[in-house]
Amino acid sequence: MIRDILLVPDARLKTSCAVVCDFGDSLRALIQDLEDTMRAGVGSVGVAAPQIGEMWRVAVVDTSEHRKFGPQSQGFFALVNPQIISREGEREGREGCMSLPDFTANVRRAFAVTVRFQDVEGQWREIRCEDFEAVAMQHEIDHLDGILFLDRVANLQTDVFPRKANRK
């Protein structure tokens, strides 16, 4: 089911989320809602549970449909209790967020990350991502810690921009 996205300044977006311990039907339903909501968003490559008002450490990421970076994508990921266990390099790129739809910003992130997470069954997995996919992972995991992309902007006056018209 497509869910409404919480918008800044909703306080839940600045709150750390709880660890998932129950890997049952409610988790599966939450992941499905996150996927449906992400796919309904124009240009969206990820969404985290707190963005739909669910305060659990769950996010989905899929960069495969991105017009520029899609060919390098590893596909769809449902991330439960994710944590970044290593970071390499640095890149700066323009980011947007469904919870702050009117703005984009230049954000510095690691160029590559290794993410450890549980799947829907509770099994631990690791994935190494680079470039845009790594950025998407970092962005969504930040949401689970109550961090917004604007919190990572060096200069709010020079690095934040009104969003251009949305296109898919």
Say if CB 118 and CB 130 are below 8 A apart: no
Q: Is 122 exposed, middle or buried (0-12, 13-18, 19+ CB in 10 A)?
A: middle
Q: Is 140 a catalytic residue?
A: yes
Which pair of tokens denotes residue 157? 């006056």
| Residue 13 to residue 128: CA distance in whole angstroms | 26
- Eight-class DSSP state of 67: T
Just list the catalytic residues: 140
